[in-house]
Amino acid sequence: MEREPSLDRGERPAYRIATDADDPAVSVPRAVAAITDCEPTDEEFVLYDVIDPDALGRLFDDRCDGRPRTRGRVVFELRGCRVEVRADGNHVVHGPRPDVEESETVAPESA
């Protein structure tokens, strides 16, 4: 995970998640845990309460004809952090909003 000041949103610092072999359903919770200084095994920290982890992993799989998906993103909140999972693999996590409790979640949206 790398700090990315050019992507900050107001008081929320941005972090780019390394796009390696990890599925976003693994890399996103790890990044959010590191940003919020908690354990990803914490019982209040459940990705499935916000978005289906299996669907998140398959969302940007290659098309039926084998062409890669290069556009689109899904945005959701996890432990107060704004998470953007992007088709191009440049996933971003914004730090928690200062006005939100850590356990609050917001429904996902897609673009």
Using one digit for the tens of pLDDT, what is the confidence trace for 15-68?
A: 998 766 678 888 888 899 999 988 877 776 788 889 998 898 788 888 899 998
Report pLDDT for 48. 86
Range of the domain at 65: 2-110
Tokens 């062409």 sit on residue: 67
Report pLDDT for 100. 58
Whole-angstrom CA distances from 9 to 6, 15, 56, 68, 84 are: 9, 11, 23, 29, 12
CB 13 within 8 A of CB 97: no
3-state SS, residue 47: helix
Q: How many domains does the chain have?
A: 1
Convert the pLDDT of each residue in 73-89 to its tens digit: 999 999 899 999 998 88
Q: Residue 110 pLDDT more than 80?
A: no
Report pLDDT for 14. 93
